[in-house]
Amino acid sequence: MAHDETRIREFARSYTAAWCSHDPARVADHFVTGGTIAINGGDPTEITEVAQSFVDAFPDIEVFMDDVVIEGEAVEYHWTFTGTNTGPGGTGKVSTDASGRVVSPSRGAAATPAESRLRR
């Protein structure tokens, strides 16, 4: 099945904007109802809770969409987030202590339509 590249890129832009809004509900709106995510091999956790833990731990969080790569059935969303760990630490999914450190990790997430928990 061919991907609608325009729709995918718009979805990625909207997802990025949702993170930058600091509104966990907006982030969760991009996933299927009840969607979960596992951070660094941890237990699957509801999307709203994960997003809230990032916002709490990094109150100045900004997410940048670096690229969207479409290869066959796979779609990769490449991102960088920046933020200063000054928050109360969220739920522990991200950090338990405010370190005052500025972070800027870059990552890519890949999914095929069959395994995706994202809204289509």
Read off the tokens for 7.
């729709």
Q: What is the DSSP letter of 71?
A: E
List domains and CATH numbers for the chain. Answer: 5-111 (3.10.450.50)
pLDDT in tens, 22-45: 999 999 999 988 888 888 788 999
pLDDT in tens, 89-119: 544 445 445 666 667 766 666 554 444 455 5
Percent of the chain with pLDDT over 70: 71
Report for 11-25, 46-60, 79-93: range of highest mean pLDDT = 11-25
Read off the tokens for 2.
């061919």
Name every residue whose Cβ is closer than 8 Å to that of residue 104 and which is 6 or more positions away in sequence: 80, 81, 82
Window from 18-22, 73-77, 79-83, 85-89 with minimum mean pLDDT = 85-89
> In the chain, what is the straight-line distance between the N-terminal and C-terminal CA atoms, in Å?
14
Using DSSP's 3-state secondary structure scheme, residue 37 falls into: strand
